[in-house]
């Protein structure tokens, strides 16, 4: 049983600065992520793969519509499958990531099997291809006269190994999943407070163009409000966690009481439950914290329905 994809608009390839491209996949929900690439004089550097074979093949076709230069380097902004499943299709490329990103992928020991949680997705013949070059702190990649400054946060945020790619010459920032533009942030694999701190770091960068991990490219006022929105939502989660703990409710029980207000319009709102689990843990009130239990609570929050995934 495969999903109907007809309802989703096609990916948007855009040259956001000279030789710098964003590749935005609508609608940015579960497993539908953004990527990008930089075309240099003799090679191409890519930021992130996608979740399925078909989507990554389509992305590579989009790169080939612009250039036939070899893809020398693929960056993984973090370990999640929507950004790394397609790594194996970039044959011969050096795969660069944070050392913690590779560590998690190696500990998982291969491609995670999501067939139970996300049935109906045609993943394709995925092959495990972990990063081959890792760093922590900072790493600069030079592509002709453009420098991609890869930086970690120095703390756990969306995951334990988030990497951003900054191009100072064009003020372009690839933010990975530190930013879900128009979608619900998801801190279950990381930290609510760390993701809030990451917003301050991203804001201080002074970007003109921000390519988020999900959702449309942000610029100018839209860029500032995208970061503010993420920060406000996560602060709201912390506040609600305080209310829920005070009332002696579990994260799920409290999630069912929460009025999401304007955040209710964002996609994937069941992530509230996972985020509350983390906020409780960070307040020292969730000693039993387990990712799988939090996911089961997200399904319960949806009345037993699995998360809507159109990948």
Site string for Zn ion, 199-238 (x = CB under 5 A): --------------x-------------------------
Which of 82, 240 has the CB closer to Zn ion? 82
Q: Which is nearer to Zn ion, 161 or 213 (CB)?
A: 213
Restricting to residues 65-104, name those near Zn ion by CB under 5 A.
Answer: 82
Q: Shortest gap between Cβ of 25 and Zn ion (angstroms)?
A: 10
In the complex with Zn ion, the residue whose CB is nearer, 33 or 269, is 33
Taking CB under 5 A as the criterion, the residue among 152, 177, 229, 297 binding Zn ion is 177
> Which strands, in side-by-side order, build the sheet including 146-152?
138-143, 146-152, 163-167, 172-180, 209-214, 218-219
Residue 264 neighbours by CB under 8 Å, 6+ apart? none
Of 213, 223, 210, the closest CA to residue 75 belongs to 213
Residue 214 CB, shortest distance to Zn ion, in Å, is 6
Binders of Zn ion among residues 25 to 44 (CB under 5 A) are: 33
Rounded CA separation 33/82 (Å): 6
Number of Cβ within 10 Å of residue 185's Cβ equals 27
Nearer to Zn ion, 48 or 53 (CB): 48
- To Zn ion, the closest distance from the beta carbon of 33 in angstroms equals 4
Q: What is the nearest approach in angstroms of Zn ion to the Cβ of residue 95? A: 17
Are 158 and 115 in contact by the 8 Å Cβ rule? The answer is no
Smallest separation (angstroms) from Zn ion to the CB of 77: 8
Binding of residue 268 to Zn ion (CB under 5 A) = no
Total of chain residues touching Zn ion, rule CB under 5 A = 4
Instruction: Tell me how crowded residue 89 is: count the other CB atoms within 10 A of its CB.
Output: 20
The string over 160-176, giving b where at least 16 C-beta atoms fall within 10 Å of a residue's C-beta and e elsewhere, is: bbbbbbbbeebbbbbbb
Between 31 and 90, CB nearer to Zn ion: 31
- Tokens for 296? 């089961």
Distance in Å, CB of 78 to Zn ion, minimum:
8
Least separation in angstroms between residue 75's CB and Zn ion is 14
> How far apart are the C-alpha atoms of 131 and 15, rounded to whole Å?
26
Q: Are strands 172-180 and 163-167 parallel, antiparallel or unpaired?
A: antiparallel
Q: Which is nearer to Zn ion, 252 or 311 (CB)?
A: 311
Angle between the N-to-C axes of helices 271-282 and 192-204, in degrees from 0 to 180, rounded to the nearest 10: 100
What sign does the CA torsion over 43, 46, 49, 54 have?
Answer: negative
Q: Based on CB atoms, which residue is closest to Zn ion, 269 or 286?
A: 269
Phi-psi sector, 160: left (phi>0), alpha (psi -120 to 50), beta: alpha
| Distance from C-alpha of 285 to C-alpha of 28, rounded to nearest angstrom | 32
- Among the listed ranges 37-45, 62-70, 105-113, 170-178, the one in contact with Zn ion (CB under 5 A) is 170-178
Name which of 54 and 300 has its Cβ closer to Zn ion: 54
H-only helix segments in the chain: 53-64, 81-84, 99-108, 192-204, 220-246, 251-255, 271-282, 291-301
Nearer to Zn ion, 100 or 177 (CB): 177
- Shortest separation between residue 130's beta carbon and Zn ion, angstroms: 17
Minimal distance, residue 311 CB to Zn ion, in Å: 11
Which spans of this chain sit near Zn ion (rule: CB under 5 A)?
33, 82, 177, 213
């Amino acid at each position: 049983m495969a999903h109907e994809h007809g309802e989703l608009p096609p990916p948007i390839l855009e040259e956001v600065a000279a030789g710098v491209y964003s590749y935005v996949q609508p609608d940015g929900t579960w497993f539908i992520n953004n990527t990008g690439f930089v075309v240099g004089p003799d090679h191409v550097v890519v930021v992130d793969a996608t979740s399925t074979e078909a989507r990554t093949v389509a992305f590579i076709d989009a790169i080939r519509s612009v250039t036939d230069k070899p893809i020398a380097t693929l960056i993984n902004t973090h370990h999640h499958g929507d950004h790394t499943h397609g790594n194996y299709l970039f044959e011969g490329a050096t795969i660069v990531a944070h050392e913690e990103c590779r560590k998690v992928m190696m500990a998982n020991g291969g491609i995670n099997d999501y067939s139970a949680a996300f049935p109906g997705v045609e993943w394709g013949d995925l092959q495990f291809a972990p990063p081959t070059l890792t760093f922590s702190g900072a790493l600069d990649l030079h592509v002709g006269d453009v420098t991609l400054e890869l930086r970690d946060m120095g703390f756990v945020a969306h995951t334990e190994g988030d990497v951003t790619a900054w191009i100072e010459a064009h003020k372009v920032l690839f933010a990975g999943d530190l930013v879900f533009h128009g979608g619900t942030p998801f801190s279950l694999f990381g930290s609510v407070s760390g993701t809030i701190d990451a917003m301050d770091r991203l804001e201080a960068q002074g970007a003109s163009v921000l390519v988020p991990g999900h959702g449309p490219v942000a610029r100018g006022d839209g860029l500032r409000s995208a970061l503010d929105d993420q920060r406000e939502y996560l602060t709201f989660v912390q506040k609600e966690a305080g209310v829920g703990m005070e009332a002696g409710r579990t994260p799920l029980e409290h999630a069912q009481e929460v009025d999401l207000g304007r955040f209710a319009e964002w996609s994937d709102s069941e992530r509230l439950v996972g985020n509350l689990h983390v906020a409780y843990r960070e307040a020292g009130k969730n000693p039993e914290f387990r990712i799988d239990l939090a996911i089961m609570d997200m399904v319960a929050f949806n009345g037993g329905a699995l998360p809507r995934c159109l990948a």
